[in-house]
Amino acid sequence: MKTLFCLILTFCFLVTWCSSLWTQDLVLKNLVLDNVDGQIQLRFGIDPLEPEKLHKYLRDSVTLRLECKAFLFKERKLWLDKGLDHDHCVFRIKQNPITQKYSVFDAESEKEYTGNSLETLMKRHITKLRLNLGVWQTLQKGEKYAIELLVSLKRAGFPGWVKKCLFFWSWDIVPTQKYRMNFTY
């Protein structure tokens, strides 16, 4: 009985440890909070550590969805943090199997960028992102705030009924990564 318990505990530890290693496939670069024309702007970039993994999925005709969500919170001591504002951006990344060209579609501006090199497209359009988190005047001096950034990379283009039927299947290429920056204004 003890041996079985130890084996199960070891297995759980290894699964947890391996999954934490897997989550480092996307790297957050240059996280900056700035006042731009009276607006709170969060600037950052996303850089894949192993672009070959992305190439593999794209060669298999999988459309990828990169989503970044940012939230601005006012920290409170006895209650949950108060949400002040949020913003998000979505990109669809795919490869045309006939022309062998890559495309990055920016859902916000509704523009599609194409090119022969996935790395070049990502450097031009995904390493310099900006999200607006409201008016700068909402921040009060001496108060504590936090910014949370959620980044996910998933398979796209599957109907909802397929996802519900295959609920046990992970649609994540990279699990959602959460970054938090606390600051006092």
Tell me how far apart the alpha carbons of residues 90 and 72 are, in angstroms, rounded to a whole number: 18
Q: Could you give the count of Cα atoms lying within 13 Å of 82 in the half-sphere of its Cβ?
A: 9
Tell me how far apart the alpha carbons of residues 179 and 185 are, in angstroms, rounded to a whole number: 19
**What's the pLDDT at 44?**
92
Cα–chain center distance at 69: 7
**What's the pLDDT at 58?**
85
Q: Which helix (H) or strand (E) holds 136?
A: none
For domain 25-184, the question of CATH label 1.10.1330 is answered with: no
Tell me how far apart the alpha carbons of residues 134 and 157 are, in angstroms, rounded to a whole number: 31
Domains of the chain by residue range: 25-184
Vertex 94 angle, CA 155 and 130, to 5°: 85
pTM of the model: 0.76
Residue numbers in the chain where pLDDT is lower than 50: 4-23
